[in-house]
Amino acid sequence: MTPADIAAVLREFHRDKLALRQRHVAVARQVADYESNNTYQYVIAREDVHLSWLEAALGELETPPETVGEPALPARGKKERFEPLVTEDAREAETFVGRWRPRVADVTNARHRGMMQVVLGETLEHKRFFDQIIAGRQDMLGRRSNGPASPGTGDGVLSVRWLGD
């Protein structure tokens, strides 16, 4: 592969991973369950790391990354379940890995190929988290030291991800 070929593959991979990340942000806004939302926040943070790696690689190749906006999801009613969104995220993670695994194997630059393989592996871990949410698990990121009913989780999560000063 020429540097231009590698840049094109990295740019497309970045775009697809960014689209997943943006979808996860949109879904997280609709997931009020504390443990499930916490899992989405973890996934988004890892995806931010993946994207920073890919952007650094693209920068070395003097190739700007594409931008992808956050998708507009239909508004949910208060009693409507969020699990169908999680099911779709699990399916999209699996599709992403299935689409990219053969292409990553063809990348001739060992450093870029290794980075992309790590991203694929962690995407499968995210799929496992989504599958656990769908199954009703509450311990995706570990168990609380004082039990699952420990005080402090209140009635869900805040409606915004970060609070300013």
123-163 per-position pLDDT tens digit: 999 999 999 999 987 766 666 555 555 444 555 555 555 44
Mean pLDDT for 29-56 is: 94
* Residue 159, pLDDT score: 56
Q: Within a 10 A sphere around the Cβ of 33, how many other Cβ atoms? A: 18
pTM: predicted TM-score of the whole model, two decimal places: 0.84
Measure the CA–CA gap between 55 and 123, rounded to whole angstroms: 18
Overall size of the chain counted in residues: 165
* Residue 93, pLDDT score: 98
- pLDDT tens sequence across 69-81: 999 998 877 778 8
> Which domains, and CATH codes, for the chain?
3-70+81-134 (1.20.1260.10)
How far is the first Cα of the chain from the last one, in angstroms, to the nearest whole number?
48
SS3 content of the chain, % helix, strand, coil (to 5): 60, 0, 40
> Do residues 58 and 106 lie in contact, with contact meaning Cβ atoms separated by under 8 Å?
no
Q: Strand, helix or coil at 60?
A: helix
